[in-house]
């Protein structure tokens, strides 16, 4: 597993959590995922995209003072760039999961619609078998799309969508 982030502090935190859990298969790299070139095409990409954090305002109230129209536009452009580059890296028949801790349509459903229009080589992958049971029902109803809060108590807001790159 290769984990990328621009910020060493985030990678250090990830490495410490992994070590505490006995996980030793994560390689961290401080890199810009918009230009990163892996040695070989991965078969799976989890794009946990930088976002407004609007789904976690209950825990991080200070975010409401940082979010405005300009910031949201800036974030959606960054998300689009990350998605477009990830699309080029993923091997044919590979899986990409796009996730945010946002509830903003511009960062989620509208971003996914735009991605599929730009990348006809991708399709929504409706396989939800890898999800924990408590999430699976909602995701199966929505074709692998999972938006929280749904009817699951105790969860922050968030979004994820699973895609498969078509064979060449």
Q: Domain containing 4: what range?
A: 1-31
Q: What is the pLDDT of residues 23-58, one digit of tens each?
A: 999 999 999 999 999 999 999 999 999 998 888 766
Residues 26 and 70 in one domain: no
Residues 9 and 19 in one domain: yes
Residues 81 and 7 in one domain: no
Crossing angle of helices 109-118 and 69-89, in 10° steps, is 40
Contact 147, 108 (CB under 8 A): yes
Residues 12 and 54 in one domain: no
Identify which of 154, 161, 158 has the alpha carbon closest to the alpha carbon of residue 139: 161
Residues 101 and 138 in one domain: yes
Give the pLDDT of residue 94: 98
pLDDT band at 129 (very low <50, low <70, confident <90, very high): confident
Phi, psi of 72 (to 5 degrees): -65, -40
Q: What percent of the chain has pLDDT over 70?
A: 86
Query: Residue 2: is its pLDDT beyond 60?
Result: yes
Query: Residue 134: is its pLDDT beyond 80?
Result: no
pLDDT band at 96 (very low <50, low <70, confident <90, very high): very high
Contacts of 11 (CB under 8 A, 6+ apart): 3, 5, 28, 29, 30
Query: Residue 15: is its pLDDT beyond 60?
Result: yes
To which H or E segment does residue 135 belong? helix 133-141
Give the pLDDT of residue 141: 67
Residues 21 and 36 in one domain: no
Give the pLDDT of residue 119: 98
Between CA 128 and CA 137 the distance in angstroms is 9
Return mean pLDDT, the chain. 88
Residues 72 and 155 in one domain: yes
We report the CATH number of the domain holding residue 96 as 3.40.50.150
Contacts of 105 (CB under 8 A, 6+ apart): none
Contact 52, 26 (CB under 8 A): no
What tokens does 157 get?
A: 């807001």
Domains contained in the chain, number? 2
Give the pLDDT of residue 126: 84
Residues 38 and 78 in one domain: yes
What's the whole-number mean pLDDT along residues 100-111?
A: 92
Residues 109 and 91 in one domain: yes
Query: Residue 164: is its pLDDT beyond 90?
Result: yes
The count of C-alpha atoms lying within 13 angstroms of the C-alpha of 66, restricted to the half-sphere facing its C-beta, is: 11
Residues 104 and 142 in one domain: yes
pLDDT band at 13 (very low <50, low <70, confident <90, very high): very high
Task: State the catalytic residue, choosing from 51, 101, 128, 160.
Answer: 101
Query: Residue 151: is its pLDDT beyond 60?
Result: no
Task: Respond yes or no: is residue 101 known to be catalytic.
Answer: yes
What tokens does 110 get?
A: 């509208």
Residues 1 and 72 in one domain: no
């Amino acid at each position: 597993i290769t984990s990328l982030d621009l910020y060493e502090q985030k990678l250090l935190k990830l490495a410490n959590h992994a070590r505490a859990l006995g996980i030793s298969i994560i390689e961290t790299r401080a890199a810009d995922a918009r230009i990163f070139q892996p040695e070989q095409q991965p078969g799976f990409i989890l794009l946990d995209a930088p976002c407004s954090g609007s789904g976690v305002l209950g825990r991080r109230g200070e975010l409401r003072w940082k979010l405005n129209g300009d910031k949201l536009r800036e974030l959606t452009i960054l998300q689009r760039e990350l998605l477009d580059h990830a699309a080029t890296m993923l091997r044919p028949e590979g899986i990409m999961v796009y996730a945010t801790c946002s509830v903003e349509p511009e960062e989620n459903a509208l971003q996914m619609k735009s991605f599929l229009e730009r990348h006809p080589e991708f399709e929504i992958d409706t396989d939800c078998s890898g999800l924990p049971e408590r999430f699976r029902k909602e995701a199966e109803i929505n074709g692998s799309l999972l938006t929280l809060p749904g009817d699951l108590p105790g969860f922050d807001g968030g979004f994820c969508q699973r895609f498969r790159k078509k064979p060449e």
